[in-house]
Structure 1
Amino acid sequence: MAKHKKYKEDNSSRSEKTAVKAKKHLGQHFLKDENIARKIGDTLTQTGYTNVIEIGPGMGVLTKYILEKELNVVAMDLDNESIEYLNTTFRLEHAASERKSISFQVLEADFLRYNLDTLFSEEQFAITGNFPYNISSQIVFKTLEHRDRIPEFTGMFQKEVAQRICEKPGSKAYGILSVLTQAFYDAEYLFTVPPGVFNPPPKVDSGVLRLIRKKEYSLPCSEKLLFTVVKTAFGQRRKTLRNSLKTLQLTDTIKALDILNKRPEQLSVEEFIELTLLIEKS
């Protein structure tokens, strides 16, 4: 424990001298609370994978707790200043330390554009991070595209977005992101993080969640059609499905279904899948 404390003190001392400046255009808000960073690191269950990508590591407050685990770690950031800091502060220290992580790589890259097939061969990997608010939903959608290799996803979002992802039917917060994420993953909202633990502090609370891939994550219907049905339905969420889905040119048989009398937020994920399957067959 004393050794770990010394590491944090040494790292803190260096941070003051070489601190990375948060950049507004990258949506950076650097977490400075060690306890919260450790709690986020502990959201990784390490079940079914030995690899993890950390998105947006910044100055590595979360990185050091991920490195305590028996994982191959890739820290990916678009900010070259953060990359330089992580390389000098973490990568060299990791090589000389007795940390548990199997390997550690710092990668300057845009997650949204990066070819994930080039990482970890064909092995499974998790994703975690303190995600930039301005691209957090896009990160989730890319995760869904690669769900065959991503059994677990954890991290911090703007609280409203995290709650929306985990929301259940019947709520105004329940929407496109809720349905499409929960079609493939079990979503759990874990805890809330206040603005004051960031530098600079955001104007809103943050929320940490965990997604665990379902055992059956292959859909019985067309995935492309499901996305179309869900997005079309919630595009006019105040209308009943009979009205909002008119552009899909439904058959009279489909139009006669009682389910079309409902509004989109009243349908469960399973009902959206069943409706998509019926539309596909018709």
Structure 2
Amino acid sequence: MAQNANQHQVKAKKYLGQHFLNDESIAEKIANSLSFKGYKHVLEIGPGMGVLTKYLLKKETTTHVIEIDPESVEYLKNNYLNLADRVIEQDFLKYNLNEVFENEPFAIIGNFPYNISTQIVFKTLEMRDQIPEFAGMFQKEVAQRICSKEGSKVYGILSVLTQAFYDAEYLFTVPPSVFNPPPKVESGVLLLKRKENYTLSCSEDLLFKVVKTAFQQRRKTLRNSLKTLNLSDNLREDSIFGMRPEQLSVVEFIRLTTLIENDLNN
């Protein structure tokens, strides 16, 4: 979701999922949610007209922005002259960010378009070696899902895969009234901090496969939902296979994947 200090300047585009934040205090609060430690660069996704950007520019880190809307790009370059050469006119999901960051660490921040917010998280997970911190605004339900723990009704694929690598904290809720145009739902801001030890004791690809397969049939026990993996009868007798996916913590999912990996390799 892009932001905006003066709505008449750039028109919100429905096809880009733009809802312009017009509350300065919330913009400042989002900017302050990052620690700005352990990296020299911050990348803001979808800055719109820079209501969040202006607070990032006050920090000691170097701010870059990535924006797909040509009208917003023009506005930013004209109104934030010290940012002009760090405005990337690209699609975040398709762009190779190392053309800018050259394998250096950077943080991600932004008010994300709801329609691509989960894809933004998955790209962050792919680049986790370079992204120690991530703060952003999502549809409230999505932010809650990312941060939820086992046993919750909304705990699922996004929760497990994000929390395998990051500590996730739901920070605060944002009402529709502070956007133009107002979205039909509440928004939620979250913070992801990469775990000190974020390497897995199992295959990452297999973990993704196990988690996705398990939650596709979340009401079934793992013994039934993971049948397609062709596991040995001996392994499937382990008590963990009598559980449902929402009952397993992230650590237990990693243990489960390790068991499956050993079984498949034997």
Mark yes or no: TM-score above 0.5.
yes
In the other structure, the counterpart of 1:3 is none
| Aligned-residue offset at 1:65 | 0.4
In the other structure, the counterpart of 2:37 is 47
In the other structure, the counterpart of 2:145 is 164
Matches within 5 A, 1:1-282: 15=6, 19-90=9-80, 92=81, 94=82, 105-282=86-263
Structure 1 runs of 4+ off > 6 angstroms? none
Question: Given the superposition, is the C-alpha separation of residues 262 and 174 from structure 1 closer, same or farther in structure 2, using an over 3 Å criterion?
Answer: same
Partner letter of residue 112 of structure 2?
A: F
Q: Deviations along 1:176-231, whole A, 9 cap, x unmatched?
A: 00000000000000000000000000000000000000011111100000000000
Q: Provide TM-score, normalisation by structure 1.
A: 0.90
CA distance in 1, matches of 2:235, 2:42: 44
Retained in 2: the 8 A contact 1:22–1:28? yes
| Aligned-residue offset at 1:120 | 2.1
Residue range with higher mean Cα deviation, 252-261 or 26-35: 252-261
Q: Deviations along 1:6-47, whole A, 9 cap, x unmatched?
A: xxxxx96xx36x611011110000000000000000011012
Q: Provide TM-score, normalisation by structure 2.
A: 0.95
Partner letter of residue 43 of structure 2?
A: I
Partner letter of residue 57 of structure 1?
A: P
Retained in 2: the 8 A contact 1:195–1:204? yes
CA distance in 2, matches of 1:240, 1:253: 16
Partner letter of residue 24 of structure 1?
A: K
- 3-state SS of 1:226 partner: helix
| Aligned-residue offset at 1:118 | 1.4
CA distance in 1, matches of 2:93, 2:61: 23
| Aligned-residue offset at 1:72 | 1.2
Partner letter of residue 203 of structure 1?
A: K
Retained in 2: the 8 A contact 1:59–1:85? yes
Q: Deviations along 1:128-173, whole A, 9 cap, x unmatched?
A: 0000000000000000000000000001000000000000000110
- 3-state SS of 2:59 partner: coil
Question: Given the superposition, is the C-alpha separation of residues 126 and 104 from structure 1 closer, same or farther in structure 2, using an over 3 Å criterion?
Answer: farther
CA distance in 1, matches of 2:229, 2:143: 30
CA distance in 1, matches of 2:203, 2:19: 39
Partner letter of residue 146 of structure 1?
A: M
Q: Deviations along 1:220-264, whole A, 9 cap, x unmatched?
A: 100000000000000000101100000011111211011111110
Runs of 5+ unmatched residues, structure 1? 1-10, 96-102
| Aligned-residue offset at 1:104 | 6.2
| Aligned-residue offset at 1:117 | 1.7
Number of residues of Structure 1 aligned to a counterpart in Structure 2? 260
Partner letter of residue 41 of structure 1?
A: A
- 3-state SS of 1:119 partner: helix
Residue range with higher mean Cα deviation, 145-154 or 18-27: 18-27
Q: CA RMSD in A?
A: 1.4
Q: Deviations along 1:114-134, whole A, 9 cap, x unmatched?
A: 101212222110000000000
